[in-house]
């Protein structure tokens, strides 16, 4: 049974998941950020089956997150380097790291992000590049963009209507009528 192709959907989250949604892909990217570039390095780090690793690396190359570069002709050996698109994935990894530490590390964080110069603990968060304000509701909300089709516009209009109803209920003390 073939799974649904998310890459053709208008949703940018679905399109992103089509490229990196398989969990091995995210772990390969994590290791690439740690400086791993060669097949055997990824395999040793992840304990992943060679055929699965080969498929995931091919997929990440095809998606433009990694580029394959030959480093040895005999025998033929390639290394896998992060592209700009791949490097742009770092904030996603750091957001997952922070979320995982906050919600799934009862023993405390095993990996953290720190300031490279001072060693001070960092708190990864998304901010608006224009204002520097944290991207959090109610100040920021998702909305249909200029390339949205009718279905996407209708979806976000309905989301806006539900949000307005919820705000009205909250303003009225949570009553339903």
Residues of the chain above pLDDT 90, percent: 74
Report the pLDDT value the prediction gives residue 56, as an integer from 0 to 100.
Answer: 96
Taking the C-alpha atoms of residue 18 and residue 26, their distance in angstroms, rounded to an integer, is 12
- CA distance readout (Å), 126 to 82, 157, 168: 22, 24, 28
Q: Which residues pair with 38 in a beta bridge?
A: 79
d(CA 143, CA 131): 18
pLDDT for 120 beyond 80:
yes
**pLDDT score recorded for residue 13:** 79
Tens-digit pLDDT profile for residues 19-56 = 887 889 999 999 999 999 999 999 999 999 999 999 99
Q: 160: left (phi > 0), else alpha (psi -120 to 50), else beta?
A: alpha
């Amino acid at each position: 049974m073939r799974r649904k192709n998310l890459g053709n959907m208008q949703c940018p989250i679905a399109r992103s998941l089509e490229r990196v949604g398989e969990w091995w892909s995210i772990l390969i990217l994590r290791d690439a950020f740690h400086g791993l570039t060669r097949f055997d390095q990824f395999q040793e780090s992840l304990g992943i089956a060679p055929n699965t690793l080969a498929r995931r690396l091919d997929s990440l190359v095809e998606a433009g997150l990694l580029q394959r570069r030959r480093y040895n002709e005999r025998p033929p050996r390639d290394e896998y380097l992060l592209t700009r698109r791949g490097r742009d994935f770092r904030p996603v990894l750091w957001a997952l790291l922070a979320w995982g530490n906050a919600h799934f590390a009862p023993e405390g964080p095993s990996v953290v992000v720190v300031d490279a110069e001072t060693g001070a603990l960092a708190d990864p968060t998304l901010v608006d590049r224009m204002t520097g304000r944290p991207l959090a509701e109610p100040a920021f909300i998702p909305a249909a963009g200029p390339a949205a089709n009718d279905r996407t516009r209708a979806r976000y209009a309905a989301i806006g209507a539900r949000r307005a109803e919820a705000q009205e209920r909250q303003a009225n003390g949570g009553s339903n009528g």
